A and B are shown apart, each in its own frame.
Chain A
Amino acid sequence: AQTVTQSQPEMSVQEAETVTLSCTYDTSESNYYLFWYKQPPSRQMILVIRQEAYKQQNATENRFSVNFQKAAKSFSLKISDSQLGDTAMYFCAFMSTGTASKLTFGTGTRLQVTL
């Protein structure tokens, strides 16, 4: 069974600074997908970034980038130039590519961006 671990329950960063959120996972599969979702106070889940396990190149989306270390089963999210609107819960998620297509989430990291 796949598990996703986010060891940082809460983090804080000042506006315009950079912050890195950690995520590790455990799986016996060789091909899978990883995601970071954001949940602002509205509680709407928003996809931030995705990474295919077979791609060595780290995904980037504007100010958001990941550091994907497949051997270490690590998938961290870096937010550059943090903005007040980045304040939210951030969830790391794992999706298997088999017929099960199960999407498993970590427990989340609450990020507070301050002035």
Chain B
Amino acid sequence: SQTIHQWPATLVQPVGSPLSLECTVEGTSNPNLYWYRQAAGRGLQLLFYSVGIGQISSEVPQNLSASRPQDRQFILSSKKLLLSDSGFYLCAWSAGANTEAFFGQGTRLTVV
């Protein structure tokens, strides 16, 4: 069966420090991968999505970047965190355009 792993679960980082959140999927190949951010009490904002290795689509210009170095690995990064980067980050995968997305447990990021 397919599983998705996202880590860390919580993270507290100082302003100006780098960020690396990792997401991996097991049990499937060539998944669509997604990074979302959820501000407190708000909806899910799509940050990046990828339909294949090295193919990254960015939805909102911001302080973050994403990479997909391997088929089932999706990384969210920042060189210098801002206070406004705080939030709940969710990674998700889907098998294609006609299937639902499955989500990781999320990472609560607090920038101080």
Contact = CB atoms under 8 A, between A and B. Distances in A.
Contacts of B7: none
Contacts, number: 63
A98 interface: yes
B76 interface: no
Residue among A6, A43, A44, A45 with most chain B CB within 10 A = A45
Interface string B33-63: 0101000011110100101000001010000
Contacts of B43: 6, 91, 105-108
Interface stretch (B15-23, B67-75, B78-86, B94-102): B94-102
Contact of A101 (B51, B59, B102, B106): B51
B32 interface: yes
Interface residues of B, number: 25
Contacts of A103: 34, 46, 49, 92, 94, 101
Contact of B98 (A45, A97, A100, A104): A97
Interface of B: 32, 34, 36, 41-44, 46, 49, 51, 57, 59, 88, 90, 92, 94, 96-98, 100-103, 105-106
Interface of A: 6, 33, 35, 43-45, 47, 50, 52, 91, 93, 95-108, 110
